[in-house]
Structure 1
Amino acid sequence: MDRSSFKLYHKHDHDSRTLLETYFSGDPDMAFKEDTLKSPMEKLHNAFDKGHMTGKILIDISGGPLIHHLYSACEFFQEIILMRTNEQCIMEIMKWHDDRTGAFCWGHTTAHVTGLEGRSDQCEAKEMKLKSAITHVVKFDTESETLSDLIGLPQADCVITAWLLDMTCKDQADYLRILKKILKPLKPGGHLILFGATNASYYTVGEHKFQLFTYDEHFARDALVREGMTIHQWEVTPRKFDSHLTDYGAILFLTACKQK
C-alpha cells in the first residue's frame, strides 16, 4: 500500500469526534469495542488492582481525546495530567471535563469499569472522581525540545501512553526519540504503561487515511530496554476481526519500571 498519501495525526486536520465515534463509541455494532474499549480497561483494572502502581502524579501522554483508560487510574493517583499533540483533541476532552453541551458520552466505559470494580451503581461518582483528578490538559509537542508549555511539569509516579507512538512516529529513529521524551517526566522507580498497535500501517478517520508507524513487538521491547526500563508485564493480543478501517495485527500492552 502506498503510504505517501497518508496524513499525519499531529500535522494534518484530524476530526477527533469522528475518531471517537469510529473506534470508541458505545454503539453495540462498533467493531473495535473489544480491542479499544473492553480489553484495555480490563487490563488496566487488573494491573492497578495488584497495588504495585500508585502515587501522587500520573501523566497520560496518549493519542486522541481518550479518557476511558484513566477510570481505574484515578483510584490510585491523586493528580492526573493529560498531554495531547492535537488541539482538537484537547478541546474535545475539555468539553467532557467541563460538562459542556455536545460533549462525547463516555457512559458505556464508566459502566464497564464500575462493573469490573463491583460498583455498578456508582457510575456518576466514578466520572466525577476522574474529572476531579484531572488538573491539567496541555499540549505535547513532539518536535520541540521542551516537553510542554506547562511551567514546572512535575515528575510522575506513573506515565501512561496509549497509541501515541504509533500515530506520530514516521520511523524507528522517531520512535526512539519520542519514547525518550515520554519517559522524561517519569521518576526513577516510576511505572510506564503502554498500549500500541503492532504491524500496522494506517487507520481511517472519515474519508482520510492516517499513517501508523509499522513495528513489531521485538522492536518495542528492545526500545524500552535501551531506555533503562525493566518490563514487568507484556501481552500481545491478536486482533479479533477484519476491517478496512485499519490494518494493525495485534494490540500490545505492557507495564515497566524505570531504573534510572
Structure 2
Amino acid sequence: MDSSTYKRYHIHGYDTRQLLDQYLSDEPEMVFGEDALIFPMKSLTKAFSAGHIKGDILLDLSIGSLVHHLYSACEFFKDIIVLKIQDRCILELKRWTDKRTGAFHWGHVGKIHVDIEGKSHRVEDKEVKVRSAMQHVVKCDIEKENMTEPIVLPPADCIISAWLLDAICKDQDDYIRYLRKFSRLLKPGGHIILIGCLGVTYYTVGKDKFHAFTYDEDFVRKVLEEEDFIIDECKVHKRTSVSDLIDYKAIIFIVAHKK
C-alpha cells in the first residue's frame, strides 16, 4: 500500500477498542506486552519514584484511550487531566473510570504495576486510585491556539504524551509545532515525558493502516533542546515483538524539564 493512502488518526479516527485489543490487551496473540506495556511502565515508575516529578496537575496527551501509563503517575499528582481528540476515546475512557459494563479490562496492567513496584497493595486498590485521579477527560482540538477552548487549563506540573506525536505529525515541522504547543501548557520548570516509536512509518487498526511520523533519537533530543528543555533521561528499548501490524524499530522514553 502506498503510504500516501494511509489514514490519519486525528482526521479519520478509528475503533479505539480495537487498538487496545491489538496492542495492549492480555490476549495470547497480543505480542507487544514487553514493548508497549512493561517498558513504559517500568520507565515511568522509576522516573516518578526519584521524587523530582510531582505536583498538583498532570496533563495526559496520548493516543487512543490508554490508561496503563498513568498507574504510577496517580501517586504523585492530585489531578490527572486527560485531553482527547476523538469523542470515541473519551467514551471508552469514561466506561472504565465509571466502571460501566463493557469497559476494557485493564486488570493485567494493575498486576504488572504491582509487580514492578514490589509493593503488597492490591490491584483493586490501585485501580481505585487511578480512576479517582483521572476524573477530568476533556475534548481538545490540536489545531486551536487554546486546544481546550472555551476551557482554559491551569499550568501543568507535568505532561505525558504517549504515541500521540507519532500519530498526528506528518513531518518534522509538525512535530516541532505540536511540541511547542504542548509545552505552553507547562509551568516554568515543569516536566514533559514523551513515549513513542522510533523508525515507524505505519500502524494498523483493524483492516486500516494509519500514517506514523518517522524519526530517530537524535531528532527528538535536538527538538527538545531547541525548545529550551533540559533532557533528564532518555531510554531506547529495541523492538522485541514479531508482528506486521506496525513497523517500529524501537520504543523511546524521554524525560525533560522546561528551563
Q: TM-score, normalised by structure 1?
A: 0.96
* 1:150 Cα deviation from its structure 2 partner: 5.7
Hey, which bits of structure 1, 4+ residues long, moved more than 3 A?
none
Report which stretch shifted further, 147-156 or 227-236. Answer: 147-156
Q: Contact 1:24–1:37 at 8 Å: present in 2 too?
A: yes
User: How many residues are treated as equivalent by the alignment?
Assistant: 259
Q: Contact 2:39–2:237 at 8 Å: present in 1 too?
A: no
Q: 1:120 to 1:2 in 2, by over 3 A?
A: farther
The match for 2:184 is 184
Deviations along 1:128-157, whole A, 9 cap, x unmatched?
111111131112212122121362301111
* 1:87 Cα deviation from its structure 2 partner: 1.4
Aligned-pair RMSD on alpha carbons? 1.2
The match for 1:6 is 6
Q: Secondary structure at the match of 2:28?
A: coil
| Whole-angstrom CA distance in 2 between matches of 1:35 and 1:92 | 23
Q: 1:120 to 1:11 in 2, by over 3 A?
A: farther
Deviations along 1:66-91, whole A, 9 cap, x unmatched?
01110100001111000111211111
Q: Contact 2:229–2:258 at 8 Å: present in 1 too?
A: yes
The match for 1:231 is 231
The match for 1:87 is 87
The match for 2:135 is 135
| Whole-angstrom CA distance in 1 between matches of 2:186 and 2:31 | 34
Q: 1:118 to 1:242 in 2, by over 3 A?
A: closer
For structure 2, list consecutive stretches of 5 or more residues without a partner in the other structure: none
For structure 1, list consecutive stretches of 5 or more residues without a partner in the other structure: none
* 1:224 Cα deviation from its structure 2 partner: 0.7
The match for 2:151 is 151
Report which stretch shifted further, 198-207 or 23-32. Answer: 23-32
* 1:121 Cα deviation from its structure 2 partner: 4.4
The match for 2:15 is 15
Identity across the alignment (%): 51
* 1:241 Cα deviation from its structure 2 partner: 2.8
Q: TM-score, normalised by structure 2?
A: 0.97
Q: Contact 1:61–1:140 at 8 Å: present in 2 too?
A: no
Deviations along 1:165-187, whole A, 9 cap, x unmatched?
00111111111111111111111
Q: Secondary structure at the match of 2:11?
A: coil
The match for 1:56 is 56
Q: Contact 2:195–2:254 at 8 Å: present in 1 too?
A: yes
Q: Contact 1:138–1:149 at 8 Å: present in 2 too?
A: no
| Whole-angstrom CA distance in 1 between matches of 2:71 and 2:241 | 26
| Whole-angstrom CA distance in 2 between matches of 1:101 and 1:149 | 31
| Whole-angstrom CA distance in 2 between matches of 1:227 and 1:45 | 26
